[in-house]
Amino acid sequence: MRTDFSAAQLANPALEEANDILRKCVHCGFCNATCPTFKLLGDELDGPRGRIYLLKDLLENEATPSKKVVTHIDRCLSCLSCMSTCPSGVNYMHLVDTGRSYIEKKFRRPLPERLFRRLLIAFLPHPRRFRLLFRLARLLAPCRRLLPGRIGHAVGLGSSSKPRAMPSPPTARHDTGQTVGLLAGCVQQVMGVEINDASARLLARLGYRVQLLAEPACCGAIEHHLGRTDLADKRFRQNIAACTRHIDEQGLTALLVNASGCGTMLKDYGHLFRNDSVLAPEAGKISAATLDIVEFLFDRHTLDRNDEMQDVRVAYQSPCSMQHGQRIDRQPVALLEQAGFTVQELPEKHLCCGSAGAYNLLQPHLATELGKGKAAYINATSADVVASGNLGCMTHLRQFTGIPIVHTAELLDWATGGPKPF
Ligand code: SF4
Ligand code: SF4
Q: Is residue 168 part of a domain?
A: no
Is residue 250 situated within a structural domain?
yes
- Determine, yes or no, domain membership for 293: yes
Are residues 267 and 374 part of one domain? no
User: Residue 145: its pLDDT value, please?
Assistant: 65
The pLDDT of residue 154 is 67
CATH number at residue 392: 3.40.50.1860
What amino acid is encoded at 373 in this protein?
A: G
pLDDT band at 397 (very low <50, low <70, confident <90, very high): very high
Distance CA 322, CA 388 (A): 10
86, 142: one domain: no
The answer to whether residue 283 sits within a structural domain is: yes
Dist CA 293 CA 304 (whole Å): 17
Mean pLDDT of 381-409: 97
Question: What residue type is 183 in one-letter code?
Answer: L
Looking at the fold, whether 185 and 292 belong to one and the same domain comes out as yes
53 and 133 fall within a common domain: no
Closest CA to 285 of 314, 315, 243, 335: 243
pLDDT, residue 284, reads: 98
CATH number of 77's domain: 1.10.1060.10
Q: DSSP letters of 204-235?
A: HHTT-EEEEE-SS---SHHHHHTT-HHHHHHH
Same domain, 94 and 144: no
Distance separating alpha carbons of residues 307 and 288, to the nearest angstrom: 36
Residue 146 pLDDT? 61
Does residue 340 have its Cβ closer than 6 Å to ligand 2? no
**Domain final position from 271, 297, 323:** 297
Separation of 25 CA from ligand 1 center, angstroms?
Answer: 5
Closest residue CA from atom 6 of ligand 2: 82
Neighbour-count burial for 293-320, b at 16+ CB within 10 Å, e otherwise = bbbbbbeeeebeebeebeebebbbbbbb
Position 161 pLDDT exceeds 70: no
Does the Cβ of 36 fall within 6 Å of ligand 2? yes
Mean residue pLDDT of the chain comes to 94
How far is the CA of 418 from the CAs of 35, 167, 359, 411, 414, in angstroms? 38, 15, 33, 9, 4
Q: How far is the CA of 26 from the centre of ligand 1 (A)?
A: 6
Averaged over 77-81, what is the pLDDT?
98
Mean pLDDT in residue range 157-175: 67
Same domain, 243 and 331: no
Of 156 and 366, more confident = 366
The residue contributing the CA closest to ligand 2 atom 2 is 79
- Residues near ligand 1 (Cβ within 6 A): 25-31, 48-49, 52, 85-86, 88, 90
pLDDT of res. 136:
83
Integer Cα distance of 238 and 341 in angstroms: 41
Per-residue model confidence as pLDDT tens digits over 296-328:
999 999 999 999 999 999 999 999 999 999 999
Query: How many independent structural domains does the chain possess?
Result: 4
Distance of CA 211 to the CA centre of its chain: 22
* Per-residue confidence (pLDDT) for residue 407, from 0 to 100: 98
* pLDDT of 137 strictly over 90: no
Asked if the structure places residue 216 within a domain, the reply is yes
Residues 79 and 132 grouped into a single domain: no
* pLDDT recorded at residue 135: 83
0.85 cut: is pTM over it?
A: yes
- Nearest-CA residue for ligand 1 atom 3 is 25
Expressed in angstroms and rounded, the spacing between residue 326 Cα and the centre of ligand 2 is: 15
pLDDT-derived band at 56 (thresholds 50, 70, 90) equals very high
Give the pLDDT score at 265.
97
**How confident is residue 162, by pLDDT bands cut at 50, 70 and 90?**
low
Rounded Cα gap, residues 183 and 238, in angstroms: 15
Q: How far is it, in rounded angstroms, from Cα 414 to Cα 61?
A: 56
- Atom 8 in ligand 2: which residue has the minimum CA distance? 35
What spacing in Å lies between the alpha carbon of 216 and ligand 2's midpoint? 28
Q: Tell me the per-residue pLDDT of 13-55, one tens digit each, with 9 for 90 and over.
A: 999 999 999 999 999 999 999 999 999 999 999 999 999 999 9
Q: Is the CB of 371 under 6 A from ligand 2?
A: no
Provide the Cα torsion 413, 418, 421, 422; round to 10°.
120
Q: What distance in angstroms lies between residue 191's CA and the mean position of ligand 2's atoms?
A: 27
Q: Say if residue 331 is in the same domain as residue 396.
A: yes
Q: What is the span of the domain harbouring residue 68? A: 7-106
Q: In this predicted model, what pLDDT tens digit does every residue of 193-250 receive, in sequence order?
A: 999 999 999 999 999 999 999 888 899 999 999 999 999 999 999 999 999 999 999 9
CA atoms of 86 and 24, how far apart (whole Å): 10
* Pair 381, 276 in one domain: no
Is residue 255 a part of any domain in this protein? yes
249-272, pLDDT tens digit by residue? 999 999 999 999 999 999 999 999
Final residue before a domain boundary, out of 256, 280, 297: 297
**Do 274 and 374 belong to one domain?**
no
For residue 26, which atom of ligand 1 is closest to its CA?
3
pLDDT at 168 over 80: no
In sign, the C-alpha dihedral spanning 73, 390, 325, 317 is negative
158 pLDDT band, cuts 50/70/90, is: low
Same structural domain, 30 and 95: yes
Q: For residue 422, is it within any domain?
A: no
The number of the ligand 1 atom at minimal distance from the alpha carbon of 29 is: 5
Q: Tell me the CA–centroid distance for residue 388 and ligand 2, in Å.
A: 20
Let me know whether 293 and 305 are in one domain.
Answer: no
Residue 332 has pLDDT above 70, yes or no: yes
CA-to-CA distance for 337 and 408, rounded, in angstroms? Answer: 11
pLDDT band at 159; cut points 50, 70, 90? low
